[in-house]
Amino acid sequence: MSFAENLAAVRSRIASACARAGRDPATVGIVAVSKTQPAEVVIEAVAAGVDAIGENRVQEAAVKRPLVGGATPWHLIGPLQRNKAKLALDLLDLIETVDRPELADRLEALGAPSQRVLPVFIEVNIGVEDQKSGVLPVASPALVERILGQCPHLRLCGVMTVPPYDPDPRRSRPYFEALRRLARDLERRFGLSPLQLSMGMSEDFEAAVEEGATLVRLGRVLFGERRIAP
């Protein structure tokens, strides 16, 4: 199957999930997660019209993005170390994984001189798992407050999560619902316009769409198996 065929199949599955939930499929964007995939296939993804490219490592994006070109935005979806923040800021269009005040402060300090405003999502550890990246749900209002109050060069426009691993997508669904509720709560509390909900991967994106995902992050279902260990 070509990338374009895989994308068409995914779009029809998203449309069915939207029909079940009474949603408009045009409100669900697709981030093609190209980690481990060579630039040639990322070029196919861009040509096929995905909404964004997602990479989980800044250095991998740095190698591939110049080879891929095009106007499709690139999102960082993996953890961002402090020492990679400058490269990330220069290279990526949106960072989905702001998960601590220190990182927000760092991106703010780096972005301020250029006057650029970087769109960011906060990553939430919605299942409150040990060893998992993401801000805890209880700490997320404080992180939002920090970004809104202290970081004029960051624009908070969404929340992102990876729920606890479970091969049964039905068990991810309560976590997707929890992220949606958290987003609505943050919007009310801080008077924000609707936040994007980045949730759902190859195994569980339909459940995520039924729970309100506005961006799904899809790797294997679009590209096939990963090429090398991520």
Ligand X SMILES: *Cc1c(COP(=O)(O)O)cnc(C)c1O
* Positions in the binding site for ligand X (CB under 6 A): 33, 35, 56, 77-78, 162, 201-202, 217-221
Nearer CB in complex with ligand X: 31/116? 31
Specify the residue, 159 or 162, whose C-beta has the smaller distance to ligand X: 162
The residue among 13 and 150 lying less far from ligand X, judged by its C-beta, is: 13
Residues 123, 161 contacting (CB under 8 angstroms):
yes
- 74-76 vs 215-218, strand pairing mode: unpaired
CB of residue 114 to ligand X, shortest distance in Å: 27
154 phi/psi in degrees, rounded to 5: -120, 140
Pairwise CA distance, residues 22 & 199, whole Å: 18
DSSP H or E stretch at residue 45: helix 39-48
Cβ atoms 74, 92 nearer than 8 A: yes
Residue 202 CB, nearest distance to ligand X (Å)? 3
**Residue among 212 and 219 whose Cβ is closer to ligand X:** 219
Residue number with the shortest CB distance to ligand X?
Answer: 219
Q: How many CA atoms lie within 13 A of 60 on its CB side?
A: 22
Smaller CB distance to ligand X: residue 32 or 144? 32
- The distance of closest approach from Cβ of residue 158 to ligand X in the complex, given in angstroms and rounded to an integer, is 13
d(CA 179, CA 148): 20
Shortest spacing between CB 148 and ligand X, in angstroms? 24
CB of 124 to ligand X, least distance (A): 12
Yes or no: say if 122 and 98 are a contact pair by the CB < 8 Å rule. Answer: yes
- Output the smallest distance, CB 149 to ligand X, in A: 27
Cβ proximity to ligand X: between 152 and 230 the closer is 230
Residue 103 phi, psi (nearest 5): -70, -40
Cβ contact 121:98 at 8 Å: yes
